[in-house]
Amino acid sequence: MSISAVQDGPPADHLVFSLIAKRNCSLQNAERWRVFWLAALVSGLIAVGFAAFGAWLILPFAGLELAALYVAFRQFERGCNDYEQIQIRGDHLLVECCTGGRSRRFESNRRWTQVVVSRSPRSCRVAIRSHGREIEFGTLLNDTERLTAARRLQELLRMQ
């Protein structure tokens, strides 16, 4: 999570607040596929070695293992580019959420917007609401980060 607030001039005119939440993808796309092919090579060599000694049933299981790893990597790849972003410039609030290739955008006047936090025993939910419309924010954050971001955003929305 990256939170930054920059103030330049009177707060109502030039307040800039930016919060960007992204998934932590430690392996880039090319590196991820190198790891896959390395695992495929090692698994294949082990399977062929055992098959050479008569344990041929290991070959289909090695294939199943690689298929499961391939599916897991593809699922991981789908969520790698997900992000949530909030920007406040003067009286303008912009929220962009991109999850699973689907983008949502929410624009509102900062003064008419409220942050709604609802808690359940397992987690909390943060929504940004204005004029009967709302968008959920913080799905990529843990509960502590979500509450911290909500508090900071509520402070900034109340600033004059």
* Ordered DSSP codes for 114-130: EEEEEE-SS-EEEEEEE
What pLDDT score does 8 carry?
Answer: 52
pLDDT tens series, the chain, 160 aa = 444 445 555 555 565 778 888 888 888 888 999 999 999 999 999 999 999 999 999 999 999 999 999 999 988 888 888 899 998 888 888 999 998 878 999 999 888 888 999 888 888 899 999 988 999 988 888 888 888 888 888 888 877 5
What pLDDT score does 160 carry?
Answer: 57
In 10 A of CB 41, how many CB atoms? 10
Three-class SS state of 73: helix
Phi, psi (rounded to 5 degrees) for 91: -100, 5
Domains of the chain plus CATH, in order, are 2-23+82-158 (2.30.29.30), 29-79 (no CATH)
Helix axes 29-52, 58-79, angle to 10 degrees: 170
What are the strands of the beta sheet with 133-137, ordered from one edge?
Answer: 114-119, 124-130, 133-137
